[in-house]
Amino acid sequence: MDTFTARLDGAWAWWSAAIEEAQEGRWVRDAVERQVIADIRAATNALHGGRPAPFTGDSWHVRVGRIANWAGVLRLAARAGGWELRSVVEHGPPHPAGMAELLSGIY
C-alpha cells in the first residue's frame, strides 16, 4: 500500500504544479498542447460511454479496463507532443511545470 500512496501523492503534486502554472498564467498552452488535450478528450470519451462521472454503477472490471485504456492514450499523447513521461514517485515536479508534468501526473 505504501507504493500506491507514494504514487498517488506524487501524481497530485505533479498535477497540481501544472494546474497552478496554468492558473497563474505562467503556462499558456500552445496549439500543439491544445490539440493533444482535444485528442485525449476524444480518445477517452468512448471509455465511459460519454457519461459524466461518477461511474458508480460500473463493475470493477469495467473500471479497471478504463484505467488501462487511459494509460495507452496518455503514452500516445506524450509521444505526439514530444514530451517524456517521468516517474512522479519520490521526484518533485520541475518548475516551470507544463504539459509533460500534467501528463506524467495523470499517467
Give the tens place of pLDDT for each residue, 28-65.
999 999 999 998 888 877 666 667 677 778 888 877 77
The type of residue at 27 is W
- Of 83, 87, 76, whose CA–CA distance to 14 is shortest? 87
Q: Name the residue range of residue 69's domain.
A: 2-106
| DSSP letter, residue 97 | -
For position 49, what pLDDT does the model report? 67
Structural domain count, the chain: 1
Q: What's the pTM?
A: 0.79
How many other CB atoms sit within 10 Å of the CB of residue 88? 23
Percent of the chain with pLDDT over 70: 91
For residue 1, pLDDT over 60 is answered with no
Q: pLDDT band for position 102 (50/70/90)?
A: very high
